[in-house]
Chains A and B, each alone.
Chain A
Amino acid sequence: MKYIKTIVFKSYQGKLSTLALFLCLLASVPLVSIYTSFSSFNSQNWQHLVETVLGEYVYNSFVLMTGVGTLSAFIGSSLAWLIVRYDFVGRSACQWLLLLPLAMPAYIIAYAYTGMLDFSGPLQSTLRESFNWSASDYYFPEVRSMGGAITLMALVLYPYVYLMARVAFQSQSQSLEEVSKVAGKSSLQHFLRISLPLALPAILLGAILTMMEALADFGTVKYFGIPTLTTGIYRTWFGMGDINTASQLSALLCTFVFVLLFLEFSSRKTSQAYQSQGAAGRSLMSTTGAKSIGILITCLLPMILGFVIPFTQLLSWSLAYAQNESISQFIELSINSLILAIIGAVSIVLFALTISYAKRRVPSKRMNVSSRFVSLGYAMPGTVIAVGVLSPMGWLDQQINQLTLAISGETVGLVFSGSIFILIFAYLVRFSSIAIQHTDAGLQRIPNSIDEVALSLSKTPQHTFFNIHLPLIRASVLSAILLVFVDILKELPATLVLRPFDFNTLAVKAFELASDERLIAASLPAITIVLVGILPVILLTKTLDKKDY
């Protein structure tokens, strides 16, 4: 009996790890395909690129990335410092209000502000009317510019830096500041020599995340007419029809990403070495009156600019639109998006659950490395992933058609690349990381001794999984599904490239309408995305509350 149990157990373990490794392999196909594209190098197209726009692409991507990183680091760490150090009126509300810009995708805030601040928008029109100016009489900064893009992206991405910086500042033991006081140092000296350097790795980690988002952005730069690597990749594929050159451009973009990933890795190591062994937590300095209100306004300002103002604008546009036009098309669009997002989210979380569970039951270095590799997908821009899945899927479809042709004399068309399956695959590559993070965290909270006790009580691993593990990780699984759901809803570039014919999502529609200068029509899908995006912010706030900050 024991012998049979061992066999069953071992084969179960074997099956599980094989399945998981196979899934990991599948998810790494796009990246591999991108780099192998160098084998069929089209020197003519590439030469043309180098001579004309490649320099511009690389330069703009780089400036955008570093600009967003620096500005969001500045905003995020200043806010974190204020929140951790001072007690002021409205502080507890601020702590979650600050996070709201996370709900606003960059391309949507870009439309909103362009609509408001553009030449023909309400602000400039009012200025011209009141002062009787004509176009050349005054200077008004151009929203659709690199500066505009950097500012707007920083306004919605600073929460990433804020969250990490806050943890870092919060964990600095109060004794550190007291040591500085006793040593005769001023507050400023302490901040510059101790607090800031100690928090720097965490701030850098947050900034790297914003830089990855900036690098991956497509909607904003396309809308603003800024040529970057992402728009270049899109143009090479759709404009020149050259998938190979597009792959090679993607590989170049990926290299940028790998540099960022390497920086992230070393920052994380330093950040861990800086873990204060002391008691975390500190008392707040109370402030009153003007100082208190001043701090409140400073803290709310980025969030007002990054969420309240664009949201209000979108809201007024959508209401105007809804009153005058029929929204039946919009509803159909929403249902499409929702179904896609739900199917995608559930599949991805199932994938993540398999990986996490395999890591737990059959721990091996191979398993850890594979899942780590899969998790890199979050860093890959959507355009890159789109290009990366097109080639293999296209190849697969060709083989299938050849097969069916040989068997029944008919072709079946594009089975994979023309269906939402390819979309889900792309989403899997990009979003499995966030899902795995949550399923990992959920499973890790269950000590291994529970698995062992269950075994000793003669329960099969399957029984344990369904009756013990699953109920215990229910919260993690649900939050993973929610987060992936929202991410899929917001996703633009990959969806734009890979969607089946005549299939639209909210994000795609908003992009198309805005590109056609139909901003009011675009506002309805846009605001829906933002409203749905508030849900993860609420979830995040609840998680932070539990951690007793």
Chain B
Amino acid sequence: MLKLNQVAIKYEDKRIIDDVSFTLEKGQIGCVLGPSGCGKTSIMRAIAGFKEVASGEITLAGKQVASEGYSTPVASRNVGIVFQDFALFPHLSVYQNIAYGVNDKSGSQLTDYVSNYINLVGLNGHASKFPHELSGGQQQRVAIARALAPQPDLLLLDEPFSSLDPELRTSIAADVRHIIKQNGTTALLITHDQQEAFTVGDKIGVFNNGYCEQWATAQALYHKPASEFVARFIGEGSFIKGVVSKATENRHALIHTALGQFESASSDNLNDNQVVKLLVRPDDIVHDDASEHKAKILERAFRGANIFYKLNLIGGEEYIYCLAPSHHDHHVGEAFGIKLALEDVVCFPV
């Protein structure tokens, strides 16, 4: 449904977005994830048509809508947008706001049609209320209904949860995903919050400084990050030093670390005796009293079901994080045995 091919976007002479390509199938929800200033809003504006592309192509519903020197007008692109500040019209009621973009219906047909969308977002009975009479979450749902009513090919959501209460964000994000899926619309969410991305997106793109570092499912991003930035940005983790010993015929390259040796997934870019960083996630560290590797607790943070430890490997300077069930209650300064149970071996050159 949406395809970006080597898209670059410039502001004045500076490249904000460089060589970005990804594809979103019909009915999928994609997510553009990245820290502030990585250019993710520019991508959204380019897809919507508010910004032209410097090079590359954007294709929407099979038609090319943007390329170098060409840009289909916004009104002809058939996209829907939910802005960060919702941008509801304060002087129009919920019904009138949603009906605003519906140009091809009138009379009772229009009333029924709009009522369906009011129902879809769960705002029955609020049709004649005005935006200032609604809560933040309700306003957001009106904004979504208004964007969906004209039946766009693509729904764009620009940081839609950032103006809502933090406690409600996860549950609201799940509701929004449900609404979009129920309506069958293809959608692209722009956000800097991982939890939102994980909750809402089928496919997530991690962006950094204008580049798309990886476009994959949340699972793949977490367990098989393609770059060190993605490994650091997604989830928590630390790196420990490892030395490579070369691949032989019957096995891949081995990485030797202070916590044992591990076989890498592929040895394409690993050389003999190369020093690498091995990614260790907190859930990869297992409490094992029988283990020969001991670690001393530097810091601890109670998290309810788990305790998050920062550990220092005895005999070394490296530190790692460990997420242990909270009945393993140890204090700062204590040491316990640990085992590194790596499912995915992820390493990067130093």
Q: Which residues of A contact B (CB under 8 A)?
A: 173, 175-176, 178-185, 194, 197-198, 273-279
Chain A residues with CB under 8 A of B131: 277
Smallest Cβ-Cβ distance to B75: which chain A residue = A184
- A277 in contact with B89 (CB, 8 Å): no
Partner of B91 from A173, A178, A198 at Cβ < 8 Å: A198
- A183 to B83 alpha-carbon distance, docked (Å): 14
Determine chain B's interface SS by DSSP, over half rule.
loop
Known A-B contacts A184-B75, A273-B130; the reply to A178 vs B90 at CB < 8 A is no
Query: Are A184 and B90 interface neighbours, CB within 8 A?
Result: no
What is the interface of chain B, defined by CB distance below 8 A to chain A? Answer: 48, 50, 74-75, 79-81, 83-87, 89-91, 100-101, 103, 130-132, 139, 146-147, 150, 163
- Residues B85 and A183 in contact, CB atoms below 8 Å apart: no
Contact status A274-B91, CB under 8 Å: yes
Q: Are B101 and A176 in contact (CB under 8 A)?
A: no
**A175-B85, A178-B81, A278-B83 are contacts. A183–B90 as well, Cβ < 8 Å?**
no
- A213 shortest CB reach to chain B, Å: 28
How far is it, in angstroms, between the C-alpha of A140 and the C-alpha of B299 when the chains are bound?
Answer: 91
CA distance A176 to B132 in the complex (A): 16
Contact of B87 among A179, A185, A274, A275 (CB under 8 A): A179
- Minimal Cβ-Cβ distance residue in B for A272: B132
* Chain B residues, CB < 8 A from A176: 87, 89
Q: A173-B87, A175-B83, A179-B81 are in contact. Are A184 and B48 (CB under 8 A)?
A: no
Q: How far is the CB of B62 from chain A (nearest CB, A)?
A: 20
Q: List 5 A-B contacts (CB under 8 A).
A: A178-B48, A179-B100, A183-B100, A183-B103, A184-B75
> Whose C-beta in chain A lies nearest to the C-beta of B80?
A182
Do residues B103 and A273 form an inter-chain contact, with CB atoms below 8 A? Answer: no
Interface pairs A-B: 6 shortest CB-CB = A278-B85, A183-B101, A175-B87, A175-B83, A184-B75, A274-B90
CA distance A378 to B116 in the complex (A): 52
Residues on B with C-beta less than 8 A from A275 are 90, 132
Assembly CA distance A278 to B91 (angstroms):
14
When the two chains form their complex, are residues B90 and A273 in contact, meaning their CB atoms are under 8 A apart? yes
Distance in angstroms from A488 CB to nearest chain B CB is 40
Question: Residue A182 contacts which of B74, B89, B163 (CB distance < 8 angstroms)?
Answer: B74
Q: Taking CB as reference atom, which chain A residue is nearest B76?
A: A184
User: Is the Cβ of A276 less than 8 Å from the Cβ of B90?
Assistant: yes
Q: Is the CB of B130 within 8 A of A182?
A: no
Q: Decide if A277 touches B85 in the complex (CB within 8 Å).
A: yes
Return the chain B residue nearest A179 by Cβ.
Answer: B87
- Residues of A with C-beta under 8 A to B147: 182
Q: Bound state CA distance, A179 and B86, in angstroms?
A: 10
Closest to A198 in B: B91
Could you tell me if B83 and A178 are in contact, using CB atoms closer than 8 angstroms? yes
Q: Output the nearest chain A residue to B156 by Cβ-Cβ distance.
A: A182
Chain B residues near A277: list those with CB within 8 A: 85-86, 131-132, 139, 163
Measured between beta carbons, the chain B residues less than 8 angstroms from A273 are 90, 130, 132
Inter-subunit contact B91/A197 (CB<8 Å): yes
Minimum CB distance partner of A194 in chain B: B89
Are B90 and A182 within 8 A (Cβ)?
no
